[in-house]
Amino acid sequence: MQPATSSPLATYIEHLKRGELGYQFSPSLGKAVFYPRVIAPVTGADDLEWRVSAGLGTVHATTVTHPAKGDPYNVCLIDMDEGYRLMSRVEDIDPFAVKIGMRVTFRVHPAEGDEDPYPVFTPVENAQ
């Protein structure tokens, strides 16, 4: 295995800073890999390639969280069209209105303070 120039997490965050949803693809596995890692699951191969998602996905599961302070918000599993799943949330919609099967599109929630940017989604019909 060749030494990495930066960690997979650092590369993922750099993609987000550019407004991209980066993910890895493993030719030995024949499919997308997410969360970013050094070697492919199952095969253990170091053949992971970085790709950029088109940003479209479907809500696989959703729930609403009620924090002690602040408004309720949803937490969702999103199945991306490229074949991987990630946990996020759907914004610009009442959290109770998010439904399984809803089509969503990616956007970056910008960094705030010491926090890195992270991916969030909006309903496709609300996309600009």
Could you give all domains of the chain from N- to C-terminal order, each with its CATH number?
A: 8-52 (no CATH), 56-126 (2.40.50)
Question: pTM for this structure?
Answer: 0.87
Burial class (CB in 10 A: 0-12, 13-18, 19+), 113: exposed
Peptide bond into 23 cis (omega under 30): no
- Condensed to tens digits (0 to 9), the pLDDT of residues 49-64 reads 999 999 999 999 999 9
Mean pLDDT of 112-120: 92
- CA-nearest of 53, 56, 58, 59 to 19 is 53
Query: Could you tell me which residue, 112 or 11, shows the higher pLDDT?
Result: 11
Q: Does the pLDDT of residue 128 top 60, yes or no?
A: no
CA-based torsion, 78, 84, 85, 89: positive or negative: negative
